């Protein structure tokens, strides 16, 4: 069962990111990771649970199934807590901008455009000026969307001198109150007893007034494979009519797909260490194969990886399901917005179409249950903005 999750910030919220080297400035992320929402939900369930025993797993729930659980409002989420699948939550109406999206460097009024099929230096199709990457988020009209943040200053007072304690004056760059974020929640099976509205304390420093949010959960409308099939069909028209792609001598026996990452993605398999120079084409294929789940029909149908526009991030963090320490080792993630363009052998039959639909629902790589690895097949952005083919006017 899939639900839409709408989260409204009643107070400023800090969703921790990396500290600055000085350690006196802590910025918040500009989205709500699925794992952060899971941890906040776990704390709320435990606070209301009559069977709570003070376990060290303060950010996790272990279902008791006692007599009092039958009438609990949290039963639908608590009984399958480990199997819940949270997406990241982004500002309402916004989605991650692909790394192939560019904008005019000199006039912000000019529209954002796609360069997936472009070779050479990108230029604005409106005025011919140099272009730069359009980082951040896009709305439904491919306009840039900003996330509002503000600075808060915090300090520790010296109990004897009644002034700021040495080295304890620091700033927080938090998400401003009043903003709305949206994501999704997948509950295995027909969920019973899922609350529709409730309040959570989310993120860091909730004990000093940050992180109070209102959450609304409503049943989502699930699209069928027809919408995906139509996007793929339109993508073929766009791809085969544009220069920059290698000549396809067997055009009738293959088709093109793009995979656009909507969240950071942890590869399912480690890339092999190379003792000598490896061709770029080989590295691109290995990177894409490392993201695909085992057994998916797509893995054996990739004829060529034509283009990869990707970046990387290193994240650590904590595993809230483990007792005591639970710290994760730092791992290399493929950044949100990365795009893979590949040619698929054969035709788009029912089994492959179903597997592609499943990839969009479940994601790529590891930790997909916490929102990582979200992917869009033949994303609408590559269709609506065309793909610039010239060097501009």
Q: In the sheet where 131-133 sits, what is the strand order? A: 113-114, 101-104, 131-133
Distance, CA of 377 to CA of 230 (rounded, Å)? 11
**pLDDT in single tens digits along all 393 residues of the chain:** 899 999 999 999 999 766 665 667 888 999 999 999 999 999 999 888 888 777 666 788 888 888 888 888 888 898 888 899 999 999 999 999 999 999 988 888 888 999 888 777 888 888 888 889 998 999 888 888 999 999 988 887 888 888 877 767 778 899 999 999 999 999 987 767 788 899 999 998 898 889 999 999 999 888 888 899 999 999 988 887 655 555 555 555 889 999 999 999 999 888 777 778 888 888 889 999 999 988 889 988 998 898 999 999 888 777 766 655 567 788 889 999 999 999 999 888 889 999 999 999 999 999 999 999 999 999 999 887 644 444 433
Distance, CA of 86 to CA of 242 (rounded, Å)? 37
Q: Which residues contact 165 (CB under 8 A, 6 or more apart)?
A: 155, 156, 157, 158
- Residue that is written with structure tokens 């949290």 in the block: 74
Flag whether the pTM goes above 0.85.
yes
Sign of the CA dihedral 336, 91, 3, 50?
Answer: positive
| Contact yes or no for 55/242 (Cβ under 8 A) | no
- Residue that is written with structure tokens 């943040």 in the block: 149
């Amino acid at each position: 069962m899939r639900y839409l999750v709408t989260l409204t910030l009643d107070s400023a919220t800090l969703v921790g990111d990396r500290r600055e080297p000085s350690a006196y400035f802590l910025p918040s992320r500009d989205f709500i990771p699925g794992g952060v929402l899971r941890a906040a939900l776990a704390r709320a369930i435990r606070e209301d649970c009559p069977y709570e025993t003070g376990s060290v797993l303060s950010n996790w729930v272990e279902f008791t199934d006692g007599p009092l659980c039958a009438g609990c409002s949290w039963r639908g989420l608590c009984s399958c807590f480990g199997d819940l699948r949270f997406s990241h939550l982004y500002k309402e109406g916004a989605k991650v901008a692909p790394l192939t999206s560019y904008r005019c460097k000199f006039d912000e009024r000019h529209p954002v455009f796609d360069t997936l099929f472009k070779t050479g230096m990108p230029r604005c199709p409106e005025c011919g000026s140099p272009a730069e990457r359009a980082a951040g988020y896009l709305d439904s009209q491919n306009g840039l969307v900003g996330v509002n943040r503000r600075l808060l200053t915090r300090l520790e007072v010296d109990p004897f001198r009644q002034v700021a304690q040495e080295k304890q004056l620091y700033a927080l760059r938090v998400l401003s109150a009043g903003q709305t974020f949206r994501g999704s929640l997948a509950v295995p099976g027909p969920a019973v007893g899922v609350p529709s509205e409730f309040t959570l304390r989310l993120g860091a420093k909730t004990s000093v007034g940050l992180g109070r949010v209102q959450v609304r959960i409503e049943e989502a409308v699930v699209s069928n494979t027809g919408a995906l099939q139509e996007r793929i069909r339109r993508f073929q028209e766009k791809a085969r009519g544009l220069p920059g792609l290698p000549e396809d001598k067997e055009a009738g026996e293959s088709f093109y797909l793009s995979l656009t990452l909507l969240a950071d993605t942890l590869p399912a398999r480690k890339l092999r260490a190379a003792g000598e120079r490896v061709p770029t084409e080989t590295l691109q294929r290995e990177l894409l194969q490392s993201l695909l789940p085992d057994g998916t029909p797509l893995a054996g149908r990739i004829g060529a990886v034509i283009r990869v526009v990707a970046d990387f991030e290193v994240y650590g963090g904590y595993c809230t399901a483990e007792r005591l320490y639970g710290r994760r080792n730092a791992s290399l993630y493929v950044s949100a917005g990365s795009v893979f363009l590949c040619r698929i052998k054969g035709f788009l039959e029912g089994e492959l179409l179903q597997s592609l639909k499943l990839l969009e629902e479940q994601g790529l790589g590891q930790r997909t249950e916490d929102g990582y690895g979200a992917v869009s097949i033949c994303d609408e952005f590559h269709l609506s903005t065309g793909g610039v083919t010239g060097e501009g006017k």
